[in-house]
Amino acid sequence: MTGTGRLTTHVLDNAHGRPAAGMEISLYRIEGEGRQLLKTALTNSDGRCAEPLLEGEDFRTGIYELVFGVGDYFRSLDEGGMEPAFLDRVPVRFGIGEGGSHYHVPLLVSPFAYSTYRGS
């Protein structure tokens, strides 16, 4: 099913109390045991991507996975954290079931914990 919805994300750095600027995010579509890379983006100064990760004809029902480059982000801050990083690539797998809806998948993250939810 194709819809007019869109998929967005937002990353907040809970350790520093600010948006996570410059974090790489990869979006995959899951099909069976495989996955197809759809897009890679970097967060801006507000911790958001410049445009929706999916929208228009590309926004379809199905199973997707966002992979957040958390380890590289915290390494880029050059704070001398432990290696290997406790959290490196954080995957969030979710389903899109409503083709005309806005799906917002935020990530709240620190070097040692994360949480997510379906936002608005």
Does pLDDT of 43 surpass 60?
yes
Helix (H, G, I), strand (E, B) or coil at 47: coil
The top-level CATH class assigned to 6-103 is mainly beta
Residue 26 CA, chain-centre distance (Å), reads: 7
Element (H, E) at 108: strand 102-110
- The C-alpha atoms of residue 116 and residue 67 are separated, in whole angstroms, by 12
β-partners of residue 85 are: none
Lowest mean pLDDT among 4-8, 32-36, 43-47, 75-79: 75-79
Domain map of the chain by residue range?
6-103
Q: Among 90, 67, 66, 69, which Cα is nearest to 24's?
A: 69
pTM: 0.94
Q: Across-strand partners of 24?
A: 42
